[in-house]
Amino acid sequence: MISIPTSRVVSRGESAEQVGGANADAILARAASLRGLFADRAAGHDRDAGFPFDDIADFIASGLMALPSRGEAGGLGGSLATAQAVIGSLAQGDASTALVIVNHYMVHATIAARAGWPEALAARLEEENVRRPGLINAALAEPDLGSASYGGLPETVATATPDGWRITGRKAYVTGIPALAWLLVRARTDEPTPRVGLFLVPARADGVIEHRNWDHVGMRATHSHEVEFRDVAVPAGDVTDLVESDARHPVLGGMMRWNTGLLGALYDGIVRAALDWTAGFLRGRVPSNLGQPLATLPSVQDAVGRVVLALDEARMLLDLYAGDVAAGRAEAADRGAAVIKARVIDGAADLTLHLLSLAGNAGLSARNPLERCHRDALCGRIHAPHGELVRRKAGQRVLAS
């Protein structure tokens, strides 16, 4: 794990374990403190496409790494609803940093739940997340296969050895790779009837090669590069349960539940940041031929109201979804996930574009955050599952009946 310079957010010497008794208000207060720091740095990270090591250091120092880890293990025992609130707040500061944290949270939520995890491996990672925190991400997508949400066997192969496994393959969009301690790599075994599992790989292990090819218009600081694995050794105990190739892995199912809610909160946060800047601009902009702020015009109030109502709808959807996930209402959660993808995640860019139309030239200036919010919001549509797949499944559900 690389060394990251730290600027303190919490009291010196305070650990994640000591934060364990904090209530939701205290957790959100920590997130709000981080949001301000992230916002101050976001333009520089975006302009230079530099990785936000300073943000990650402050996040680790805050103790919020342990949010999804169980209370009995020294973590915060946070629910999906609390995690959504944290991610939404952080995304208003810097969406790129928030996306790195989304992936860490979704993996550790499944570790806390234990489904699909050997107890010894889950306990080890959970203990590390509380006492020696290091970021983790799941390496799922592949350059040729695409997203795991479409199914199909991964081309990344795990070959059995006397001591465990050897991993060979290539993964795409490995967000946060410069600061990751661990990679959870989806691979198939080389058995006559392949099985599929997730293999734990140290991010700096021999044979792990980072291909720095992330150069997107949005989420520029995420460094979501491709990563190649050349005969990387994995101990026998560092793998999740292996399942038949056509079975849904319980770890993947759990990650996707949290991923949907957290991505929804992230893109909701982007739109809220865009609205905050736009509202300030409209209140302060007084055209000479009008003699009063643009914010006083009924047409402008109507246009802003469209975004406000969409955000109110998004908040209700996210709250309902978190409740369904917590209660184990699988069918309701599945439908909620589809609506969140279509309305909140994919719809974010429509709302930021609408705000750009209100702000005019000022909104497109790189000196202001609105254009960055729009570029980041555009990336919502590339997250799995693709919007076309979501709509098609919804249509099939009705037409097949």
Q: Is 366 helix (H, G, I), strand (E, B) or coil?
A: coil
Look up residue 284 and give its two tokens: 């302060």
CATH classification of the domain holding 350 = 1.20.140.10
Domain extent for 173:
138-244
Placement of tokens 């991010």 in the chain: 203
Tens of pLDDT along the chain (401 residues) come to: 333 333 333 332 333 333 334 488 899 999 999 999 999 999 999 999 999 999 999 999 999 999 999 999 999 999 999 999 999 999 999 999 999 999 999 999 999 999 999 999 999 999 999 999 899 999 999 998 866 666 679 999 999 999 999 999 999 999 999 999 999 999 999 999 999 999 999 999 999 999 999 999 999 999 999 999 999 999 999 999 999 998 999 999 999 999 999 999 999 999 999 999 999 999 999 999 999 999 999 999 999 999 999 999 999 999 999 999 999 999 999 999 999 999 999 999 999 999 999 999 999 999 999 999 999 999 999 999 999 999 999 999 999 97
Q: What share of the chain is helix, strand, coil (3-state, %, to 5)?
A: 55, 15, 30
Nearest Cα to 137, choosing from 113, 111, 169, 104? Answer: 104
Last residue of a domain, one of 102, 134, 166: 134
8 is a domain residue: no
151 and 117 within one domain: no
Which residue, 79, 107, 134, sits at the end of a domain? 134
Which residue, 223, 244, 265, sits at the end of a domain? Answer: 244
The pTM for the full model equals: 0.93
Give alpha helix (H) positions in 114-223. 119-131
Residues 240 and 261 in one domain: no
Note whether 82 and 129 are same-domain residues. yes
Question: Within 13 Å, how many C-alpha atoms sit on residue 340's CB side?
Answer: 31
Instruction: Give me the torsion for CA of 275, 277, 279, 280, rounded to 10°.
Output: 160
Q: Alpha-carbon distance 268 to 343, whole Å?
A: 10
In a domain, 7, yes or no: no
Look at the block and give the residue holding tokens 């009063």: 292
Q: Clarify whether residues 65 and 159 are in a common domain.
A: no
| Domain total in the chain | 3
Q: Are 240 and 197 in contact (CB under 8 A)?
A: yes
Least Cα distance to 184 among 126, 231, 238, 230 occurs for 238
> How far, in Å, are 301, 304, 357 from residue 298 at the CA level?
5, 10, 16
Q: How many CB atoms lie within 10 A of CB 8?
A: 12
Residues 54 and 115 in one domain: yes
- 125 phi/psi in degrees, rounded to 5: -70, -35
